[in-house]
Homo-oligomer: A and B are copies of this chain.
Amino acid sequence: MSAGWFRRRFLPGEPLPAPRPPGPRASPVPYRRPRFLRGSSSSPSPGAADASRRPDSRPVRSPARGRTLPWNAGYAEIINAEKSEFNEDQAACGKLCIRRCEFGAEEEWLTLCPEEFLTGHYWALFDGHGGPAAAILAANTLHSCLRRQLEAVVEGLVASQPPMHLNGRCICPSDPQFVEEKGIRAEDLVIGALESAFQECDEVIGRELEASGQVGGCTALVAVSLQGKLYVANAGDSRAILVRRDEIRPLSFEFTPETERQRIQQLAFVYPELLAGEFTRLEFPRRLKGDDLGQKVLFRDHHMSGWSYKRVEKSDLKYPLIHGQGRQARLLGTLAVSRGLGDHQLRVLDTNIQLKPFLLSVPQVTVLDVGQLELQEDDVVVMATDGLWDVLSNEQVAWLVRSFLPGNQEDPHRFLKLAQMLIHSTQGKEDSPTEEGQVSYDDVSVFVIPLHSQGQESSGH
């Protein structure tokens, strides 16, 4: 992506690329649930008297008992309380088989060797908005993008230190020293591959949705185990945490208009054209109105983490670029997340103002060195879409994990049951740890990934 591309794509007054000739429209992306749910039956929430869509009686879905997910992970999901026709959450998981590229002496050539060379595992959650299509495409596509990106750098992954040149030639004798001084390790290549895979997948979604005449976007939260490490890549407001006997460790960080305020305001400062004179870039405690004109009110601009006062001018009365607090915060009055995949066509209602330039598809990646952890039997990673975290805190989730797992170590389905229990706890059950049995009316999807005695599985090659 170049600045020229950015300007042509998003700024008025730049010459536009020639429109693509209208070809035959591709068929729309068909709705489906995750592949690993095939053959599963929905179980109604315990105590539900009927199958109607009251929040406490929506069915919880999990994989069929005979189907084992990687590392015996548990999964469960529930659809929202009629917020949308379809469950806009999607999930994917599986083995990640990285093949080796081999290079000749003079010229690069690729051997698509049929045996895998490195094996990893992959779990992903996608929370869609504006329709289910983007999340379905992401669930179908992102793992392939990641495999391709990892295969492109696999020689660097298995070296003791990534070589300066991918073909291993050493042009400058000090090259290993330069790489050493920059502190570049194999895990930086995995992080780079995850960053590139998210961007590649975003481009695929943009093309596919345009071709099929569909719209929408989704968040993406991905956990990848490779060579003894667990990588958690996040773009959006899903969350992953590590729960151990004495520790709760966040493995992701939510990207919302509030958490990314300064980045978003900065872009509007640099390219005010993106707001088309309809929005103010400044943040105020509330939307200003005529009575505020001429008064000194609290405000923040892109370079400020503190607050100051400014005298209100007419342009400050415009709708704020970021408005609302907490769960209600919206970017351009439209979107509750600031990173994710898709949304290439999304515009502010009744305007030509695009959301996409303010969105990033690049994830933030956290690395958990599983080999260094001295794992206990009940150490798990819990990944879930925002529907769970809206009503359960990290501490409440950890309390549920610690209450359930130690007494059920012989049950092969314990992680599945724990995932189901977490979903039930979002439905206002009496035994829920939430205050006053809070209810999530959103789609909720959960993976529970056990770490014990799994680390070595992914490290061999």
Does A145 have its Cβ within 8 Å of any Cβ on chain B? no
Chain A residues numbered 287-306 whose CB sits less than 8 Å from any CB in chain B: 289, 291-292, 295-298, 300, 303-306
A212 at the interface (CB under 8 A from B): no
Instruction: Give chain B residues whose Cβ lies under 8 Å from the Cβ of A297.
Output: 164-166
Chain A contact surface mostly: mixed
A269 to B164, CA, bound (A): 24
**A92-100, A178-186, A413-421: which lies at the interface:** A178-186
Contact indicator B3/A306 (Cβ below 8 Å): no
Q: State whether the Cβ of A169 lies closer than 8 Å to any Cβ in chain B.
A: yes
User: Which listed residue, B2, B188, B306, touches A307 by the CB 8 Å rule?
Assistant: B188
Interface size class of A (residues with CB under 8 A): 35 or more
- When distances are taken between beta carbons in the complex, the residues of chain B under 8 Å from A172 are 286, 289, 291
Interface residues of A in 181-210 (CB under 8 A from B): 181-182, 184, 188-196, 199
Is A178 touching B286 in the complex (CB atoms < 8 A)?
A: yes
How many Å from the CB of A184 to the closest CB on chain B?
5
Name which of A2, A6, A167, A171 has the most chain B CB atoms within 10 A of its CB: A171
Shortest Cβ gap from A315 to chain B (Å): 11
Structural contact, B309 and A166, CB atoms closer than 8 A:
yes
Closest to A273 in B: B3
Oligomeric state, in copies: 2
Q: Which of A131-187 contact B (CB under 8 A)?
A: 152-153, 156, 162, 164-167, 169, 171-172, 174-175, 178-179, 181-182, 184
| Minimal Cβ-Cβ distance residue in B for A267 | B270
- Give chain B nearest CB distance to A46 CB in angstroms: 36
Q: State whether A3 touches B165 (Cβ < 8 A).
A: no
A240 within 8 A of B: no
- Contacting B at CB under 8 A, from A247-300, are 269-272, 285-286, 289, 291-292, 295-298, 300
Do A306 and B190 touch across chains, with their CB atoms under 8 A apart?
Answer: yes
Q: Please indicate the chain B residues that have their CB under 8 angstroms from the CB of A152 in the complex.
A: 309
Q: Which of A355-391 contact B (CB under 8 A)?
A: 360, 362, 364-365
User: Please, which residue of chain B has its CB at the minimum distance from the CB of A361?
Assistant: B303
28 contacts across the A-B interface (CB closer than 8 A)? A1-B303, A2-B269, A3-B270, A3-B271, A162-B307, A166-B295, A167-B296, A169-B295, A171-B289, A171-B292, A172-B286, A172-B289, A175-B286, A178-B285, A181-B285, A181-B325, A181-B326, A182-B325, A184-B298, A188-B307, A191-B307, A192-B306, A192-B307, A193-B308, A194-B306, A195-B305, A195-B308, A303-B360
- What 14 additional pairs, Cβ within 8 angstroms, besides A156-B298, A166-B295, A192-B300? A6-B270, A164-B286, A164-B298, A165-B292, A167-B295, A169-B295, A171-B295, A172-B291, A179-B285, A181-B325, A193-B306, A304-B362, A305-B364, A306-B365
Which residues of A does B touch, CB under 8 Å?
A: 1-4, 6, 152-153, 156, 162, 164-167, 169, 171-172, 174-175, 178-179, 181-182, 184, 188-196, 199, 269-272, 285-286, 289, 291-292, 295-298, 300, 303-309, 325-326, 360, 362, 364-365
